[in-house]
Structure 1
Amino acid sequence: MNGLTAAAAPAASRSRGRWGLLRDRDFRLLWVGETTSGFGSSLTSVALPLVAITALHATTLEVALLTAAAWVPWVIIGLPAGAWVDRLPRRPVMLTCDAVSFLLFLSIPVAAWQGVLTVGHLLAVALLTGTAKVFFQTSYQVYLPSIVVPADLPEGNAKLQGGESAVEVVGPGAAGLVAQVFGAVTALLADAASFVVSALCLLGIRAREAPVSRERRATTLRREIGEGLRFVARDPYLRVLTVFGAASNLGLMGYQAILVVFLVRDVGVGPGAVGGLMAVMSVGGLAGAASATWVSRRLGSARAMIVFEALGAPFGLLIPLAHRGPWLAVAVAGGFVLVTGVVAGNIIKAGFRQTYVPRHLLGRVSVSMQFVNYGTIPLGALLGGALGGTIGTRPSMWVVTAGLALTGLILLIGPLRHRRDLPASPDHP
């Protein structure tokens, strides 16, 4: 039964119909919890830099450091986290991460109301919640195959990514509106509350994971980390996707880390408008989630991924053209297409990894790839912040989006360009 418990196995038969997997109780709870948590995170993506800019008068580099701090934990503890997650039941790990994140985000408005909030406090919260996210996201990716069968993974990933994309449309606009009316600090309360919803939904899931074997618990952490790294290094598909992800994230985070500063200080829009503009760009995520599976079936999963990633990234070059008036719409359209390609590509890659990698290695392989992929995110944030403070925000946007536009060429290296579909299993042990 592919590692599923008896309670989880019927998901496949119940997933057919108009609503698909949403008819399955366990998947529906997972979807509701993580979509709500995603809404809170999308609020924070706008509210946290707005707090730093408007309440604490932070510099461009300090704002970029907030983004970098949230992703640094992937570099520091990403590899051992993957091995730990493969040894532990995932749901308790995720519940612990929800509780810790709730308390950390709650501390920001409390400190602001007491008049003691500082940029250092924001950096500490970003760093610690980023650490919790390492464990949560690694557990989450391995947990999904425990409640749905392999055949339903593409649909499950598409629905989860679609929910996340939907709230990323609403979240930035809501954050801008709340910041405009009540202050940016208040928007962070919603993110804290979202972790409570996530935890309650996880508690309601009935499916139980198979216990970790004694042999797994007896192996050393160093050996398990090495197994994950070696699997990625010798696999031609995972190797190319890992390098591409690292390069792509460098450019994506390079512009995202300074996007709010760019819109506020260079383009001259207010907090409410910032949220609205970012929300429109995020609508591309809905388009990507809706089209990923359909395009994959018609073009083939390998071809579809190349099309989405290689053709979507160059549209990011329209973002630095933003000025008041028609050019602002052109820039937003560029962001829309870019996000469409990124989200669709992520859905295809996630489904491929979850079916391609042996179940007992999935956590370690996933985090080995993320160690490289996410390791460039803080570098990209620091690059964007450093360039913004040196040559100006708009020139920096041009530099990082130009680099991003070229990253799709990496996917043409190796076997991907010769295939219609991604393989279902590796040809090496």
Structure 2
Amino acid sequence: MSRRRGPLTGLLAAELISLTGTRMSMVALPWFTLATTGSAARAGVVAFAEMLPYVLACGLGGPLLDRLGHRRVSVVADLASAPVLLAVPVLHHAGRLDFGLLVTLIALVGLLRGFGETAKRVLFPDAVTASGMALTRATALHDGLGRLATLLGAPLAGVLILALEAPAVLALDAVSFLLASLVVAALVPAPADPVRTVAPAPAPARPGRWASYLRELGEGLRFLFRDPLVGSVTVLLLVTNLADAAYSSVLAPVWAREVAGSPAALGALSASFAVGAVLGNVVFTALAPRVPRFATFAVGFLVGGAPRFLALALVDRLWAVYLISFVAGLGLAAINPILGAITYERIPEALRARVLGLGHAISWGGIPLGGLLAGYCADLATPAVAALVFGGAYLAVTVWPLLSPTWRRLDHPASGAPSPVAAPRPTDDEAPAPGDVARTG
């Protein structure tokens, strides 16, 4: 491992370890809740409890991360997450875990994970710049590791739930938090203090901490919506992430329990999506500098979004549901690299923590409601009706890029847009590409 790429390698390794554990919990936690409560609505409540503090930590934690240091927050947040999550299986086996305590512990895990993941996202561009890798290619690699984590974690969780039960899988996720913390501490150095490239808003001569905190959040919010493309992407992801949360936290687990009758089916569903996503990511990583972003983005969302929901509601053959999930993974593989590259290229380094945090929080703002609404919809109507409702919303919003000229800017850099990430020197077979905003499921 070269010294230049050491920090990037360490950061990606930590992400792979942590995300693999998280993907295992994404199968184990809803299955555990459904098995112990028998209620889709309660599974939605647990998903809401995890994601609400996660979103708040992402959105409001930027200035705090700037003060405490991104590397320090990443290490401490992962380190603290391990014992909190481990308490769930320990208390369950001791007969001391009631539903309220489960919700409380999962909410705390969500809060810590929000701080830790935001810190890693802020560390990522500096690690890429130090490595000399092209930004679009690096974000594609980063996204591919996330898909690989699903490919590894989801089916493994299904098998382990059958063999050891869901609490044991949650314990393994706790171990993954600990390992990720150690990897970042050992391999990722603290970045140098950024040079401020955007003048701060006028402030009182001696502002209180609260006023300073709000002013810094305001700077991030103003920058976030200064570009209409960035604002449009954030709104689109608000809706698609809400629907994705409904799918992953309630609709798919309920389908696996009531239709397929096995946690292994839930793992296979996630794995089929991940296989498609990994294959698509490999192709996009190689072709990223040469493919049109707008066409890739628009078609990918249409292919990868609504069909998954329709399959759960209307298709009764498991192989067909898995095939549709695989094709959806292919379609969505390029979305995150495109959005991630544009985001990092447009945001000044001094504002990156608060802008990324706010953008992430807004685009993920519907996620807590996604699981909650899907759970109650599935209980009050049927899981199939709930899948059709959320699939219809997904289809409606992903048609938007085809109708609005704003989205054509995906293929063009913003005029005069800041370039906080130094353009890596292109290799012989690539040129630096322009880039954009958030993250899908």
**How much has 1:361 moved relative to structure 2?**
1.1
The structure with more helix, counted as a fraction of residues:
1
Question: Partner residue of 1:330?
Answer: 320
Q: Work out whether residues 141 and 285 of structure 2, in 8 Å CA contact, stay in contact via their aligned partners in 1.
A: no
Counterpart-to-counterpart distance in 1, 2:114 and 2:410: 32
Counterpart-to-counterpart distance in 1, 2:120 and 2:48: 22
The worse-fitting range, judged by mean Cα deviation, of 284-293 and 32-41 is 284-293
Which of 5, 14, 17 is the equivalent residue of 1:36? 17
The worse-fitting range, judged by mean Cα deviation, of 156-165 and 259-268 is 259-268
1:377 aligns with 2:367: yes
Q: Percent identity?
A: 25
**How much has 1:212 moved relative to structure 2?**
5.7
In the TM superposition, what whole-angstrom CA distance separates every residue of 1:165-191 from its partner, at most 9, and x where no partner exists? 112012111111111111111111110
Counterpart-to-counterpart distance in 2, 1:295 and 1:307: 16
- State how 1:353-368 maps to structure 2 within 5 Å: 353-368=343-358
Counterpart-to-counterpart distance in 2, 1:91 and 1:424: 33
Question: Which AA in structure 1 matches 2:111?
Answer: T
The worse-fitting range, judged by mean Cα deviation, of 385-394 and 119-128 is 119-128
In the TM superposition, what whole-angstrom CA distance separates every residue of 1:170-220 from its partner, at most 9, and x where no partner exists? 211111111111111111111011012111111122533112679989871
Q: Work out whether residues 78 and 177 of structure 2, in 8 Å CA contact, stay in contact via their aligned partners in 1.
A: yes
Question: Partner residue of 1:193?
Answer: 175
- Cα distance change, pair 339–154 in 1 and its aligned pair in 2 (3 A): same
**How much has 1:426 moved relative to structure 2?**
1.9
**How much has 1:77 moved relative to structure 2?**
4.2
SS of 1:234 mapped into structure 2: coil
1:387 aligns with 2:368: no
- State how 1:243-282 maps to structure 2 within 5 Å: 243-282=235-274
- State how 1:16-27 maps to structure 2 within 5 Å: 24-27=5-8
Counterpart-to-counterpart distance in 1, 2:246 and 2:182: 35
Counterpart-to-counterpart distance in 1, 2:305 and 2:288: 18
TM-score (norm: length of structure 2):
0.85
- CA RMSD across the alignment: 2.7
Q: Work out whether residues 345 and 418 of structure 2, in 8 Å CA contact, stay in contact via their aligned partners in 1.
A: no
Counterpart-to-counterpart distance in 2, 1:276 and 1:261: 11
1:86 aligns with 2:66: yes
Counterpart-to-counterpart distance in 2, 1:334 and 1:38: 24
**How much has 1:263 moved relative to structure 2?**
2.2
- Cα distance change, pair 107–32 in 1 and its aligned pair in 2 (3 A): same
Question: Which AA in structure 2 matches 1:332?
Answer: Y
> 5+ unaligned residues in a row in structure 2: which ranges?
421-441
Q: Work out whether residues 316 and 405 of structure 1, in 8 Å CA contact, stay in contact via their aligned partners in 2.
A: no
Q: Work out whether residues 58 and 119 of structure 1, in 8 Å CA contact, stay in contact via their aligned partners in 2.
A: no
Q: Work out whether residues 102 and 196 of structure 1, in 8 Å CA contact, stay in contact via their aligned partners in 2.
A: yes
Counterpart-to-counterpart distance in 1, 2:89 and 2:285: 41
Question: Partner residue of 2:118?
Answer: 138
Which of 197, 200, 203 is the equivalent residue of 2:185? 203
**How much has 1:264 moved relative to structure 2?**
3.5
**How much has 1:40 moved relative to structure 2?**
0.5
- Cα distance change, pair 117–48 in 1 and its aligned pair in 2 (3 A): same
**How much has 1:74 moved relative to structure 2?**
4.4
> 5+ unaligned residues in a row in structure 1: which ranges?
1-7, 12-23
Question: Partner residue of 1:19?
Answer: none
Question: Partner residue of 1:174?
Answer: 156
- State how 1:103-118 maps to structure 2 within 5 Å: 103-118=83-98
Question: Partner residue of 2:226?
Answer: 234
**How much has 1:317 moved relative to structure 2?**
4.1
Question: Partner residue of 1:16?
Answer: none
Counterpart-to-counterpart distance in 1, 2:151 and 2:242: 23
**How much has 1:148 moved relative to structure 2?**
2.1
In the TM superposition, what whole-angstrom CA distance separates every residue of 1:321-341 from its partner, at most 9, and x where no partner exists? 4665xx222222222232333
Q: Work out whether residues 310 and 408 of structure 1, in 8 Å CA contact, stay in contact via their aligned partners in 2.
A: yes
Question: Which AA in structure 1 matches 2:145?
Answer: G
1:417 aligns with 2:397: no
Question: Partner residue of 1:426?
Answer: 417
Counterpart-to-counterpart distance in 1, 2:270 and 2:378: 20
Q: Work out whether residues 70 and 130 of structure 1, in 8 Å CA contact, stay in contact via their aligned partners in 2.
A: yes
Counterpart-to-counterpart distance in 2, 1:185 and 1:199: 22
Question: Paired residues, what number?
Answer: 406
Which of 66, 73, 78 is the equivalent residue of 1:98? 78
- Cα distance change, pair 307–273 in 1 and its aligned pair in 2 (3 A): closer
SS of 2:182 mapped into structure 1: helix
The worse-fitting range, judged by mean Cα deviation, of 129-138 and 402-411 is 402-411
Counterpart-to-counterpart distance in 2, 1:229 and 1:142: 17
SS of 1:117 mapped into structure 2: coil
1:126 aligns with 2:118: no
Which of 315, 325, 330 is the equivalent residue of 2:307? 315
Counterpart-to-counterpart distance in 2, 1:321 and 1:60: 16
Counterpart-to-counterpart distance in 1, 2:234 and 2:188: 34
Q: Work out whether residues 269 and 325 of structure 2, in 8 Å CA contact, stay in contact via their aligned partners in 1.
A: no
Counterpart-to-counterpart distance in 1, 2:182 and 2:189: 15
TM-score (norm: length of structure 1):
0.87
Counterpart-to-counterpart distance in 1, 2:314 and 2:101: 32
Question: Partner residue of 2:283?
Answer: 291
